[in-house]
């Protein structure tokens, strides 16, 4: 039963990230026309854990591994994009990186790219 609860929570978290950002809101703008609203990301920060960080992930401003949450989205072309949410000590207190994969076999097509932060308020 606990697995179903965790799976439901993860699915809900993914759906919340797909909600488009409202005009005038703070958000991170990634490729593939993905915008992640700060309000949606706020709901995910309690899932962040330093044990989720992997070798090769960007490090924090202090040079250490960050508390991280990661997820992947597949594109209609058969490729995928992996995202990581990292907690940091500098406003807005987290950041989003993305990495593209060329196919479903998870062969990386690039390196981690920082999604720019926009504050349109």
pLDDT tens across 71-113, in order? Answer: 999 888 778 899 999 999 887 899 999 998 876 566 666 789 9
Q: From CA 55, how far away is CA 99, in angstroms rounded? A: 14
Q: State the pLDDT at residue 9.
A: 41
Residue 116 near residue 98 (C-beta atoms within 8 A): no
Q: State the pLDDT at residue 105.
A: 60
Q: State the pLDDT at residue 89.
A: 87
Distance of CA 16 to the CA centre of its chain: 12
End-to-end CA distance of the chain: 42
Residue 30 near residue 36 (C-beta atoms within 8 A): yes
CA dihedral 116, 25, 95, 112 (to 10 degrees): -40
Per-residue pLDDT tens over the stretch 25-73? 899 999 878 999 998 999 999 999 999 999 999 999 889 999 999 999 9
DSSP codes joined into one string, 32-101: TT-EEEHHHHHTTGGG-BGGG--TTSPP-TTSSPPPEEEEEEE-TTS-EEEEEEEE-SSTTSEEEEEEEE
Tokens encoding 99:
């990495």
Q: State the pLDDT at residue 3.
A: 43
Strand pairing partners for 35?
A: 29
Q: State the pLDDT at residue 13.
A: 45
């Amino acid at each position: 039963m606990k697995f179903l609860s965790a799976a439901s929570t993860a699915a809900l978290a993914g759906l919340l990230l797909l909600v488009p950002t409202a005009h005038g809101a703070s958000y991170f703008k990634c490729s593939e026309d993905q915008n992640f609203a700060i309000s949606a990301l706020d709901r995910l920060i309690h899932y962040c854990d330093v044990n989720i960080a992997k070798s090769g992930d960007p490090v924090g401003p202090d040079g250490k591994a960050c508390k991280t949450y990661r997820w992947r989205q597949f594109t209609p072309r058969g490729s995928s994009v992996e995202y990581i949410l990292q907690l940091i000590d500098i406003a807005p207190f987290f950041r989003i990186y993305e990495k593209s994969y060329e196919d479903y076999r998870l062969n990386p097509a690039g390196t981690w790219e920082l999604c720019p932060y926009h504050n349109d308020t």
